[in-house]
Amino acid sequence: MHNSIYHALEKKDCGHQLSLDNAIAGLTFNEDGLIPAIAQQHDTGEILMMAWMNPASIRETLQTGRVCYWSRSRQTYWRKGESSGNQQTLVGLFADCDGDALLVKVNQQGPACHTGRRDCFYNQLTPDGLNITKAPIQNPDEMYKK
Amino acid sequence: MHNSIYHALEKKDCGHQLSLDNAIAGLTFNEDGLIPAIAQQHDTGEILMMAWMNPASIRETLQTGRVCYWSRSRQTYWRKGESSGNQQTLVGLFADCDGDALLVKVNQQGPACHTGRRDCFYNQLTPDGLNITKAPIQNPDEMYKK
């Protein structure tokens, strides 16, 4: 179960470096070749959304500075903001200790959620049930019209 | 691909409610019966870790107020802090728009990461390679000794 490349990094000091090829090769991708990526607004700390990346979308994100996911529903690369205009600019990309999750610190223009809400995590679960806690900041019908 | 329960919630107003049974039944679990759960320190906004939950660990977390994950490596329930003492107390649990990811706002005592670092996302990826950006705040050998 242990990922050998990331396992070896656990005991390394702050400042230790590894090539990007080895860092990406060492990540754990699921059976669909994907790794979960958490998008966080870099300054406010808001968790905006969770999506998925593959090796090519990680490289593109680092090279272009615009965040690129893999869309499982559309089975294609998904450059956030392509259709809505609400772009995500990369601030920093981080892999976790096990190399099986990514944190993408971003600068998000407008809503990150396709519902027009700023972020996707608006359904609060409590012992008494689910409560919707946020309202759209943009009309989703206007986000996706041409 | 659309999840019908969460899809129906997208257009609902702030304050709309649903029973906990329906909210959990509507979540999308993967082929192992798990859903990804992002743990965030409630006040600082730090992303501490990403782990996995199943329906029973979601219910236990809500009932006890102590965060309970499913450990894929140990194939058992994982009540954060059981062996390290570094507990996670629940502040708020949220499902995303598609019902396929959870955000757990917590109060984390000490390090969340088994390496002794405060959080797990210490491996920064850049076009030039991976850099370790954080040092342990506690000696991991002391976290797990009895």
A chain contacts of residue B94, beta-carbon cutoff 8 Å: 121-125, 133
Work out the average pLDDT over B130-138: 97
Of A51, A55, A109, nearest to A84 by C-alpha is A109
ipTM: 0.95
Q: Nearest by CB to B132, which of A16, A103, A123?
A: A16
Say how far apart CA B120 and CA A96 lie, in whole Å: 5
Residue B63 and residue A101: Cβ atoms within 8 Å? no
Q: Residue A31 — φ and ψ, nearest 5°?
A: -65, -20
pLDDT band at B1; cut points 50, 70, 90: very low
pLDDT band at A19; cut points 50, 70, 90: very high
Residue A132 and residue B16: Cβ atoms within 8 Å? yes
Q: Which residue of A has its CA nearest to B60?
A: A127
Kindly report the length of chain A.
Answer: 146
Listed as own residue / partner, the contacts of B110-113 with beta carbons closer than 8 Å and 24 or more positions apart are B110/B84, B110/B85, B110/B86, B110/B137, B110/B138, B110/B143, B111/B84, B111/B86, B111/B136, B111/B137, B111/B138, B111/B143, B112/B39, B112/B48, B112/B49, B112/B80, B112/B86, B112/B88, B113/A97, B113/B48, B113/B49
On the question of pLDDT at A2 being above 70, the answer is: no
Q: Residue B108 — φ and ψ, nearest 5°?
A: -95, 125
Number of neighbours of residue A120 by Cβ within 10 angstroms: 26
Say how far apart CA A102 and CA B36 lie, in whole Å: 12
Residue B96 and residue A123: Cβ atoms within 8 Å? yes
Residue B62 and residue A127: Cβ atoms within 8 Å? yes
pTM recorded for the entire structure? 0.95
pLDDT band at B81; cut points 50, 70, 90: confident
Q: Nearest by CB to B17, which of A38, A73, A131?
A: A131
A chain contacts of residue B23, beta-carbon cutoff 8 Å: 123, 125, 129-130
